[in-house]
Amino acid sequence: MDTFAARGYNNASLQEIADRAGLTQAGVLHYFRTKAQLLTSVLDLRDAADIEQLGTERPRGLAFLRHLVDTASRNAEREGIVRLYAVLSAESVTEGHPAQEYFRDRYEGLRAMVVEALREACELGELPDDTAVTDTANAVIAVMDGLQVQWLLAPDRVDMAASTDRAITALLAGLGADVTDG
Amino acid sequence: MDTFAARGYNNASLQEIADRAGLTQAGVLHYFRTKAQLLTSVLDLRDAADIEQLGTERPRGLAFLRHLVDTASRNAEREGIVRLYAVLSAESVTEGHPAQEYFRDRYEGLRAMVVEALREACELGELPDDTAVTDTANAVIAVMDGLQVQWLLAPDRVDMAASTDRAITALLAGLGADVTDG
């Protein structure tokens, strides 16, 4: 994970990964066959941890959107994970990248989750029924992703939690939600 | 530009670039000395074109923010440029990347420009004086960047202009601006 985060996939050396794990290259390839498969295994492992952390019951409606601000706040304390996703998600749009399908599916899943939360908010009367849920969901996901790259380049200049909070609060307020706490 | 956009910097081959330009590798290196210098020259060239396109007089206050929605709309018609910036800005956070300084400066410049427009909006009475201009500026830049990666992976699922419009309109409305047109 550290090697892919620091170098991206294309520039990561299997020798460096083997050295860090105290294995030979052949030893690593015994478990993961190819560098591409090692990458997707790392990403799957990360996702499993995140899903576990989210718990079986995610908050419903707007509470889920507020929960994302906590995620941004927590991300500011785990630079390695943020770097891994920021580097690999963008690198995945290059030709023939082994994680392209992974990230396409991941965004589709994130979008579905945020869209569902926004629909719940409409049903709960927290948002108007005519909310453009897909465009809003994409904007929410985008602001979190975009802040990560800015923050990695200049951590002193970017407050991920504050900017995420501002964007999500504004998006919800713009939609007519009552966004005061509690 | 096409090669860096399709492969990222690390994976770009000087031979491919030379072939596309109808030169030998030595011929390319005669003009640009190193692959790193070729990359920064490509980015500088792009920026010059963008600044020219923006014109000498950028719109003041909120009009500038609305102008960014037009930019997102235009970006949906120039996939190569979007890919170049999306791939390279994220790749630039990897260790020892030759464009790291370039992107740090670029975000600093973008942030300063959006902060200035938000301050103008405060002075013009378009926004309240206590607007958190830096957090807001970072969120505006982030949403545009984040949408690009999502769009490159799934152009059918992401409307860059609509989501940017929603986010910027919401951010401004959340700040108390009158965001109706005209």
Lookup result for tokens 């050295």: A19
Task: Encode pLDDT of B39-66 as tens digits.
Answer: 989 988 887 776 666 666 788 998 998 8
Residue B115: band (very low, low, confident or very high) from pLDDT cuts 50, 70, 90: very high
Task: Encode pLDDT of A99-151 as tens digits.
Answer: 999 999 999 999 999 999 999 999 999 888 888 999 999 999 999 999 999 99
Distance (Å) from the C-alpha of residue A101 to the closest C-alpha of chain B? 9
Task: Encode pLDDT of A73-85 as tens digits.
Answer: 988 998 988 999 9
Domains of chain B, each with CATH number or no CATH: 34-174 (1.10.357.10)
B11 close contact with A: CB closer than 8 A: yes
Averaged confidence pLDDT in chain B: 89
pLDDT score for B89:
93
Q: Which of B13, B91, B107 is best to mutate for the A interface (most A CBs within 10 A)?
A: B91
Rg (CA), chain A: 18
For the segment A4-26, the average pLDDT, to the nearest whole number, is: 94
Phi, psi of B155 (to 5 degrees): -60, -25
pLDDT score for B141:
95
Name the closest residue on chain A to residue B79, using Cα atoms.
A93
B73 close contact with A: CB closer than 8 A: no
Tell me the residue type at A98. P
Asked whether the predicted pLDDT for residue A182 surpasses 90, the reply is: no
Asked whether the predicted pLDDT for residue A180 surpasses 60, the reply is: no
Distance (Å) from the C-alpha of residue A139 to the closest C-alpha of chain B? 5
Tell me the residue type at A117. A
Angle between the A100-123 and A79-91 helix axes, to the nearest 10 degrees?
Answer: 110
B13 close contact with A: CB closer than 8 A: no
Residue B177: band (very low, low, confident or very high) from pLDDT cuts 50, 70, 90: low
* pLDDT top residue among B19 and B55: B19
Rounded-to-integer distance, Cα A58 and Cα A174, Å: 24
Residue B182: band (very low, low, confident or very high) from pLDDT cuts 50, 70, 90: very low
pLDDT score for B155:
95
